[in-house]
Structure 1
Amino acid sequence: MSPSTPGADLPDHPDRLWRTPEPKRSYDVVIVGGGGHGLATAHYLAKNHGITKVAVLEKGWLAGGNMARNTTIIRSNYLWDESAGIYEHALKLWEGLEEELDYPILFSQRGVLNLAHSLQDVRDSVRRVEANRLNGVDAEWLDAEQVKEVCPIVNTSPDVRYPVLGGTYQARAGIAKHDYVAWGFARSADAAGIDIIQNCEVTGLDVVGGRVVGVRTTLGPIAAGKVALCSAGHTSVLAAMAGIELPLQSHPLQALVSELLEPVHPTVVMSNAVHVYVSQAHKGELVMGAGIDAYNSYTQRGAFHIIEEQMSAALELFPVFARAHVLRTWGGIVDVSPDASPIVGLTPVDNLYLNCGWGTGGFKATPGVGWVYAHTIAHDTPHALNAPFSLDRFTTGALVDEHGAAAVAH
């Protein structure tokens, strides 16, 4: 769907959703990273703030990083007020995004079920349900029989290693088609006059007198009034070009899909104890993943034993899948902060902005973080929803600890 001839400017070509312009020598805003977050930010800069002299720079092909490598789960049932606020804002945007973009994104609100396997799991889950309700987020506690009603293929036998004691359920949660989401945002941003420039790697940031003034790229230097970093696992590498050391670690995160199957799995099921999550995609393949590889790496591949453990865990919950065949596996690069929450806001360098540290939860936030990041860039001050996720919280101690939510990739 994306243009096949880099450098060819084809604004009216009927087979193109966006142009492939040559980069201009200067922009009001340069967004580094052409994934979901970067494209959503561009869309909302134009839609909410009227800022259109913008370039989105992507070192590879559009949305070819984590946006193409995630497992598309969307939910907002987070424990802490700060997390619930930004994810619920995103979920509300998801619910109207297809109409807003005038483009199909296949958002399917099939629900997300988080299983509990011990008494401590039950206590933590009920606590999260009550916290969700206080924040206006739909959530309910289900016992084992109700879990079976929502997802009949889950193994709820008491004679297993991790018996299912119940689970939390968010009915408004679900999945969407990740590439369609990227194309919809790109199409909208392009229609507003924003330049989307692929195969353009940023190799340096120009900082003069404590203020960023431009970027150096493989297609030449580009002056910028403001620069917004938005490149997931590589954001720490970019920030270092401006002398900023970020409290991030980058890890591989793997997932896999099965061959196509008839519709058998009606919802998304997650389990921290068994350590896997499984959904069924629109075409019929099973999609599953678990946690990050333990080592730090910038490679988009991981260790085989992680995939092996994912499949073993999935069979504990879903014995019915014992004869399903794996079609393919892949890996992305996730950036994890000390409190497992994102960093979105200002930096010590004037007019340089950060959106990073989403770990395994970036896709579900796509429209919400695009909205608040655009506000932050336009006004040079955080939106109320991303103010708690500032970089300085690691010196003030005002952490938003979501390690419980990130125990299994989500």
Structure 2
Amino acid sequence: MSELASGSSAQRTPPGAHLPEHPDFLWRTPEPRRTYDVVIVGGGGHGLATAHYLAKNHGITNVAVLEKGWLAGGNMARNTTIIRSNYLWDESAAIYEHALKLWEGLEDDLGYPILFSQRGVLNLAHSEQDVRDSVRRVEANRLNGVDAEWLGPDEVAKLCPIVNVSADIRYPVQGATYQPRAGIAKHDYVAWGFARRADAAGIDLIQDCEVTGFTTDGDRVTGVRTTRGDIACGRVALCAAGHTSVLLDMLGVAAPLQSHPLQALVSELLEPVHPTVVMSNAVHVYVSQAHKGELVMGAGVDSYNGYGQRGAFHVIERQMAAAVELFPVFARAHLLRTWGGIVDVTPDASPIVGRTPYENVYLNCGWGTGGFKATPGIGWCMADTIAHDEPHPHVAPFSLDRFTTGALVDEHGAAAVAH
């Protein structure tokens, strides 16, 4: 899932600009067939992107995407839509940079507006240790071909004048990393674009279809049991984010996953005042301004485990205090709404992608709050993995067996703020 809450692009929509038609007219509502070559469980961004690239890159179209609610109604509709690739470790930088390059051409690929706005992302540093960690990450990014800069407080203020860079606050801004190519996109449009192209290729997008179990024969899954009947399948891809642990329990597969609520909020509509994306780990908030004018703010993960799409009030309170500390101009802004998504978290804060103990079941989960930014990249790599029955090189380091071998990719805090 991604950094969670409703977001979109930088500028207000120009008068007369084309906006997408209502999603009801974008794809069919088919009845599930009794058998498919590939069944994808989860109709969010990752599931839809996987379906699109199965058709586009590999010509595989006898595919069903099963969604227990409505398409992209889970974490895809509940994220802050931040897109960046400035991760510390080589393995993480590779998959997120692959995704970012796809984002840069995604509107043309889908033939659909996604309001991708490359306004840049600032990750603030507030202590000497923050500065050391941040400069280290900038140098690591550059070695991996990822655009990254280190900015001093004056340069931060020049880039985003509304940030409080005074030395007289609790956590003074001592600088920031900056990725110019980073930005945001409109989450709903992204999902609709992928769904539209998958449907046009002949892939069945089946909503209101909850998976209730699996049928197996030895180390193969032969079918998926759903609230709309049993569906036989050749291969299965699990792309269910926070509910992946529930599906794995049905298969008897153990995975080190914990699900937590993660909430965010949006303000009332405001005039454009926030030109970029600002993230801070020390006061823990991340803020952008959506194309309509609302502020989109993300918070920290609630500490308790759960599958509820809501969060605790005290987290919102801390989030608002952090936002006002960094952006005094927001002190009189009014909160419009708040909600949560369900993040699936692994011990090393990196995803799990690839094979399972079942020879025809593939797993994609554990993205924590980083799922949205990975959407096209992981869709591409999952489709390649399914088509060739071999992990794509970008996802090979994120296999489930790394928790046995000890080859972890520890991104705790290394990428700043909410993963």
> Residue by residue, what CA displacement relative to the aligned partner does 1:231-257 show, whole Å, maximum 9, x if unpaired?
000001101111101100000000000
Cα RMSD of the aligned pairs, angstroms, is 1.1
**2:118 — aligned with what?**
109
Whether the aligned pair in 2 keeps the contact of 1:291 and 1:407 (CA below 8 Å) is: no
**1:75 — aligned with what?**
84
Partner of residue 149 from structure 1, selected from 150, 158, 162 = 158
Amino acid of the structure 2 residue aligned with 1:229: L
**2:7 — aligned with what?**
none
**2:354 — aligned with what?**
345
**2:241 — aligned with what?**
232
Q: Could you tell me how far 1:15 is from its partner in structure 2? A: 6.1
Q: Could you tell me how far 1:338 is from its partner in structure 2? A: 0.5
1:134 aligns with 2:165: no
For 1:291 and 1:322, the matched residues in 2 are separated by 20
Whether the aligned pair in 2 keeps the contact of 1:376 and 1:382 (CA below 8 Å) is: yes
Partner of residue 374 from structure 1, selected from 358, 383, 389 = 383
For 1:174 and 1:72, the matched residues in 2 are separated by 8
Q: Could you tell me how far 1:14 is from its partner in structure 2? A: 11
Q: What's the secondary structure of 2:367's corresponding residue?
A: coil
For 2:130 and 2:161, the matched residues in 1 are separated by 21
**2:62 — aligned with what?**
53
Partner of residue 35 from structure 1, selected from 35, 44, 53 = 44
> Residue by residue, what CA displacement relative to the aligned partner does 1:346-380 show, whole Å, maximum 9, x if unpaired?
00111001000000000000000000000111111
Is the alpha carbon distance of 1:15 and 1:243 closer, same or farther for their aligned partners in structure 2, counting shifts above 3 Å? closer
Q: Could you tell me how far 1:207 is from its partner in structure 2? A: 1.4
**2:19 — aligned with what?**
none
Is the alpha carbon distance of 1:304 and 1:40 closer, same or farther for their aligned partners in structure 2, counting shifts above 3 Å? same
Whether the aligned pair in 1 keeps the contact of 2:42 and 2:239 (CA below 8 Å) is: yes
Q: What's the secondary structure of 2:135's corresponding residue?
A: helix
Whether the aligned pair in 1 keeps the contact of 2:88 and 2:415 (CA below 8 Å) is: no
Q: What's the secondary structure of 2:251's corresponding residue?
A: coil
Q: What's the secondary structure of 2:99's corresponding residue?
A: helix
**2:8 — aligned with what?**
none
Q: Could you tell me how far 1:201 is from its partner in structure 2? A: 0.2
**2:229 — aligned with what?**
220
Q: Could you tell me how far 1:193 is from its partner in structure 2? A: 0.2
Q: In the comparison of the two structures, how many residue pairs are matched?
A: 398
Q: Could you tell me how far 1:409 is from its partner in structure 2? A: 2.1
Partner of residue 323 from structure 1, selected from 318, 332, 353 = 332
**1:388 — aligned with what?**
397
Whether the aligned pair in 1 keeps the contact of 2:23 and 2:192 (CA below 8 Å) is: no
Is the alpha carbon distance of 1:397 and 1:14 closer, same or farther for their aligned partners in structure 2, counting shifts above 3 Å? closer
Whether the aligned pair in 2 keeps the contact of 1:290 and 1:408 (CA below 8 Å) is: no
For 2:411 and 2:300, the matched residues in 1 are separated by 14
Q: What's the secondary structure of 1:241's corresponding residue?
A: helix
Partner of residue 282 from structure 1, selected from 262, 274, 291 = 291
Partner of residue 169 from structure 2, selected from 151, 154, 160 = 160
For 1:112 and 1:290, the matched residues in 2 are separated by 16
Whether the aligned pair in 2 keeps the contact of 1:360 and 1:406 (CA below 8 Å) is: no
**2:106 — aligned with what?**
97
Whether the aligned pair in 2 keeps the contact of 1:206 and 1:242 (CA below 8 Å) is: no
**1:8 — aligned with what?**
none
Q: Structure 1 stretches of 5 or more lacking a match? A: 1-12
Q: What's the secondary structure of 1:88's corresponding residue?
A: helix
1:87 aligns with 2:87: no
Is the alpha carbon distance of 1:15 and 1:351 closer, same or farther for their aligned partners in structure 2, counting shifts above 3 Å? closer
For 1:181 and 1:263, the matched residues in 2 are separated by 23
1:400 aligns with 2:409: yes
For 1:405 and 1:214, the matched residues in 2 are separated by 40
Partner of residue 66 from structure 1, selected from 75, 83, 87 = 75
Q: Could you tell me how far 1:408 is from its partner in structure 2? A: 2.7
For 2:168 and 2:77, the matched residues in 1 are separated by 39
1:179 aligns with 2:183: no
Normalized against structure 1, the TM-score is what?
A: 0.96
Q: What's the secondary structure of 1:233's corresponding residue?
A: helix
Whether the aligned pair in 2 keeps the contact of 1:17 and 1:187 (CA below 8 Å) is: yes
1:312 aligns with 2:321: yes
Q: Could you tell me how far 1:206 is from its partner in structure 2? A: 1.3
For 2:243 and 2:414, the matched residues in 1 are separated by 23
Q: Could you tell me how far 1:32 is from its partner in structure 2? A: 0.2
Higher RCO (C-alpha under 8 Å, 6+ residues apart): 2
Q: What's the secondary structure of 1:64's corresponding residue?
A: coil
Whether the aligned pair in 1 keeps the contact of 2:150 and 2:178 (CA below 8 Å) is: yes
Whether the aligned pair in 2 keeps the contact of 1:32 and 1:56 (CA below 8 Å) is: yes
Q: Structure 2 stretches of 5 or more lacking a match? A: 1-21
Q: Could you tell me how far 1:406 is from its partner in structure 2? A: 6.2
For 1:283 and 1:245, the matched residues in 2 are separated by 43
Whether the aligned pair in 1 keeps the contact of 2:46 and 2:239 (CA below 8 Å) is: yes
Amino acid of the structure 1 residue aligned with 2:188: D
Amino acid of the structure 2 residue aligned with 1:25: R
Q: Give the ranges of 4+ consecutive aligned residues of structure 1 lying more than 6 Å apart after TM superposition.
A: none
Q: What's the secondary structure of 1:196's corresponding residue?
A: strand
Is the alpha carbon distance of 1:200 and 1:91 closer, same or farther for their aligned partners in structure 2, counting shifts above 3 Å? same
